Amino acid sequence: MDFHPPVTRPAHSGLRIPLYDKELFKYDPNEAFSCYPSQKGFINFSVDIFHLPAEDILSAIQSWLFFGLMTEVFDALGITWSDARAAWSFWFMSEAS
């Protein structure tokens, strides 16, 4: 996923971060940020997360700690979920490989 719109004349190729988009681990903006682990069935997140396959670990962490945190920030700024989703679909164009 890209953190910024494309640069027309980049000095270097940039950092490409894949979007891990597993439905099971999607962040629910209608639930509290701190409830994410229990929503996903983790009793002790810091231990249980490492019993998953690597791609699931990345998806869960990215969903909660990036998208969840961004949702909290957007809420604090008064930006609605649909506005944030539209921005994300524009900015995050890379797919997980």
Q: What is the pLDDT of residue 10?
A: 75
Tally the C-alpha atoms within 13 A of residue 73's C-alpha that lie toward its C-beta. Answer: 8
> Does residue 58 form part of some domain?
yes
Residue 50 in domain: yes
At residue 4, the pLDDT reads 66
Count the domains in the chain: 1
In degrees to the nearest 10, what's the CA dihedral of 1, 81, 30, 47? Answer: 20
The whole domain housing 46 covers 38-91
Residue ranges for the chain with pLDDT beneath 50 = 93-97
pTM across the whole model: 0.69
Residue 12 lies in a domain: no
Longest dimension (CA), the chain: 47
Residue 93 has a pLDDT of 44
